[in-house]
Amino acid sequence: MSYRRTIANRILLDETCYLLKKGKTVKIRAKGDSMRPVIHGDSDTLIISPCTEMQKGDIVLAKIKGTGYVVHRIIRIDSQNIYLAGDNNLFGEEKCNPKDVFGIVKTVIRGGKERSLISGRAKFAAKYRRLILPLRRLTWKISHRMKILRSIKTNKQA
Amino acid sequence: MKKVNGLVLRQLGNEYMIVAESLDLVNFDRLVSLNDSAAYVWESLGEDIFDSLTVSKLLTERYEVDEDTALRDAKELLDTWLNAGVIEN
If phi over 0 gives left and psi between -120 and 50 gives alpha, with beta otherwise, what is residue A44?
Answer: beta
Residue-level pLDDT at A7: 66
Q: Establish how many alpha carbons lie within 13 A of residue A118's alpha carbon, considering only the half-sphere containing its beta carbon.
A: 14
pLDDT grade for B17, boundaries at 50, 70 and 90: confident
Contact call for residues A9 and A17 (beta carbons, < 8 A): no
Q: Establish how many alpha carbons lie within 13 A of residue B71's alpha carbon, considering only the half-sphere containing its beta carbon.
A: 4
- What are the chain B neighbours of A24 within 8 Å (beta carbons)? 21, 23-26
Quote ipTM for the complex.
Answer: 0.71
Please give chain A's pLDDT, 158 residues, in tens. Answer: 444 445 678 888 998 999 999 999 999 999 999 999 999 998 999 999 999 899 999 999 999 999 899 999 999 999 999 999 999 999 999 999 999 999 999 999 999 999 999 898 998 999 999 999 999 999 999 999 999 999 998 888 87
Our CA-based measurement puts residue B77 at a distance from the nearest CA of chain A, in whole angstroms, of 7
B29: nearest CB among A3, A14, A45: A45
Residue-level pLDDT at A71: 97
B28: nearest CB among A1, A22, A28: A28
CB contact under 8 A, B28 and A16: yes
Q: How far is CA A135 from CA A50, A87, A88, A130, A140, in A?
A: 35, 14, 13, 10, 9
Residue-level pLDDT at A48: 97
DSSP, collapsed to helix, strand or coil, labels residue A29 as: strand
How many Cβ contacts (< 8 angstroms) between chains A and B?
A: 71
Q: Which residue of A has its CA nearest to B28?
A: A28
pLDDT tens by residue, B30-77: 778 898 999 999 999 999 899 999 999 999 999 999 999 999 999 999
d(CA B58, CA B42): 10
d(CA B29, CA B25): 11
